[in-house]
Amino acid sequence: MGISIIDEEKAARQLMKRTASLTYEDDWYTPTSILTQIKTGNLKKVRKEYTRLRDISQKRLKRLEAAGMGDTQAYLKNVHHYPKLKDIKTKYELAGRLSDLSRFIKAEASTVSGQRQIRAKSIATLHEHGYKFVNDDNIVDFGRFMEEYRKQKLEDMGYDSGDAAETYSVVVKHELDPEEVKKDFEFWLENLAIAKTLRRSKASKGSAEKVKKRILKKLKQKSKTKTKTSKRRRK
């Protein structure tokens, strides 16, 4: 499932709408340009634009939070990033904050509809790669799971990102708490093949520890089988 031409046109219209919120052309909002405005006697204009865009940003951030998107990067990165004008100490800070504000206002991720569009694209791409277990309800969780994989530098230990993604499928299948799996990420990656063969069980549903015990039991059985086979060969 790809992104259609209609989707692309919709995204383009949304970008135009977001850009229309800016009073000036893009290059006006660079820190250097803003500082030039301030130095040439246009401080009042800069302050007015900062206040106006800050008001727009606060409304968008409140809408994101109300829509359950308070855990997105766009929200977390921007929610406390734009102080009131009276709390900005220097012209350099003002230039930097206003420049950041303009980027946020233009960003697809700054609106609820934009966030939904981003999620839809991400889910479609993941489905194309075979990760059908990711959906609108768990995509944020999935992103955090993959971020933890990168944070623990597990790729350097020989575990690729595809294995990490498939490990999340085990989390979904058995309704596990991802945080519990992250605590022993290497174990789950090392034993992914066995974990994927386990059937759902009411007895272990929702318990990473119980699923882990089932994996260890399988490993023990596998080890016994190998020992018996080795003995037969010696005879």
Structural contact between residues 30 and 99, judged by C-beta atoms closer than 8 angstroms: yes
C-alpha to C-alpha distance for 152 and 90, rounded to whole angstroms: 39
* 74 and 143 in a common domain: no
Q: Report CA dihedral (184, 218, 170, 152) to the nearest 10 degrees.
A: 20
Domain that residue 170 falls in = 131-234
Task: Give pLDDT, residue 70.
Answer: 93
* 189 and 143 in a common domain: yes
Per the structure, the count of domains in the chain is 2
Main-chain phi, psi angles of 63, to 5 degrees = -65, -40
Task: Give pLDDT, residue 1.
Answer: 42
Mean pLDDT per 10-residue interval, the chain, length 235 residues: 48 55 94 97 97 97 96 94 97 98 96 94 95 94 95 95 96 96 97 95 93 94 68 56
Residue owning tokens 């102080």: 83
* 137 and 100 in a common domain: no
Main-chain phi, psi angles of 205, to 5 degrees = -55, 125
* 187 and 160 in a common domain: yes
Any idea what DSSP says for residue 235? -
Task: Give pLDDT, residue 15.
Answer: 52
Task: Give pLDDT, residue 150.
Answer: 96
In a domain, 122, yes or no: no
* 105 and 191 in a common domain: no
- CB count within 10 Å of CB 13 equals 10
* 150 and 87 in a common domain: no
In a domain, 60, yes or no: yes
* 167 and 141 in a common domain: yes
* 142 and 68 in a common domain: no
* 147 and 86 in a common domain: no
* 226 and 148 in a common domain: yes
* 109 and 15 in a common domain: yes
